[in-house]
Amino acid sequence: MGRRDGFSGGNAVAQGRKEILGMHEADVAKVLSRMGLLERMNAGDLHCSDCGGVLSVDTLGAIFKKDGITGLRCDRCLRMLLGFGECLDAE
């Protein structure tokens, strides 16, 4: 059984000192709602922490914490960070 927050601990991958948790695409809206972010995302008020592009449920690549602050990253910037592509400036 998965965790109640929508993240799957079974998909955790240790990379150095960081842990990456996977989330099923069907759970993204539920997790964002629990975090109080879904309405802001639907209104176009949330942006990628890296490129500044407007985020949607379809373009969200990662939710992360850094220094106790929650950050959001678009799928293009996540691919670049992981070495699978380039981060393009917001269109």
- Residue 37 and residue 57 in contact, taking contact as beta carbons nearer than 8 Å: no
- Residue 31 and residue 6 in contact, taking contact as beta carbons nearer than 8 Å: yes
The pTM (predicted TM-score) of the whole model is: 0.68
Whether the per-residue pLDDT at 27 is higher than 90: the answer is no
Over the stretch 61-78, which tens digit does the pLDDT of each residue have? 999 888 889 899 999 998
Beta bridge partners of 7: 23
Q: In this prediction, what percent of the chain has a pLDDT beyond 90?
A: 42
User: What confidence score (pLDDT) does residue 24 get?
Assistant: 79
Which residues of the chain form beta strands (DSSP E)?
7-15, 18-23, 60-66, 69-74
Beta bridge partners of 70: 65
Q: Write down the domain spans for the chain.
A: 7-81
Over the stretch 4-13, which tens digit does the pLDDT of each residue have? 444 444 344 4
Q: For residue 87, what pLDDT band results from cuts at 50, 70 and 90?
A: low
Residue whose token pair is 């799957």? 8
